């Protein structure tokens, strides 16, 4: 049964993990209005962290009003929550993933567009993971 949740354990919060995510060996893909940056990490079942940890970023530089930024983050959380199984199913055993979703648009976008972009990004990332795993 698929879990359509997004608990705190799936949030990427540690500064060191975030810095490593944006370092050189990370992979990136963009589907307007989103950009995804991903990094494969080692995963052990004993760790308290989830296999896939996600960072959501909506810059004040892109969306000036807090209302718009909060709505964009809510849309990103919802789109990821409903489609996270795509990337989780593609992960090889013993591997985890750190992901960041970055908002690229200078204006608010409608939810169906965000959901479509999120699905395409996750499919692209899962294909890249399966190709690297072979």
Report the DSSP beta bridge partners of residue 53. 98
All structural domains of the chain: 9-133 (3.30.230.10)
Residue position matching structure tokens 């996600």: 54
Tell if the pTM clears 0.95, that is, is over it.
no
Q: How far apart are CA 7 and CA 83, in angstroms?
A: 14
What is the side-by-side strand order in the sheet with 34-42? Answer: 27-31, 34-42, 95-103, 52-57
Q: How far apart are CA 82 and CA 15, in angstroms?
A: 26
Report the DSSP beta bridge partners of residue 31. 34
pLDDT tens string 34-87? 999 999 999 988 877 889 999 999 999 999 999 999 999 999 999 999 999 999
Tokens for 36, please give them: 């995804």
């Amino acid at each position: 049964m698929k879990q359509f949740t997004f608990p705190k354990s799936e949030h990427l919060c540690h500064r060191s993990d975030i810095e490593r995510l944006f370092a050189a060996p990370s992979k990136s893909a963009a589907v307007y209005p989103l950009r995804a940056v991903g990094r494969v990490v080692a995963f052990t079942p004993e760790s308290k962290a989830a296999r896939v940890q996600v960072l959501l970023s909506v810059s004040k530089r892109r969306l000036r009003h807090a209302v718009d930024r909060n709505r964009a983050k809510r849309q990103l959380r919802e789109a990821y929550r409903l489609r996270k199984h795509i990337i989780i199913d593609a992960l090889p055993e013993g591997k985890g993933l750190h992901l960041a979703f970055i908002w690229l648009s200078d204006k608010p976008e409608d939810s169906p567009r965000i959901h479509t972009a999120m699905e395409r990004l996750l499919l692209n990332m899962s294909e890249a993971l399966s190709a690297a795993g072979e």
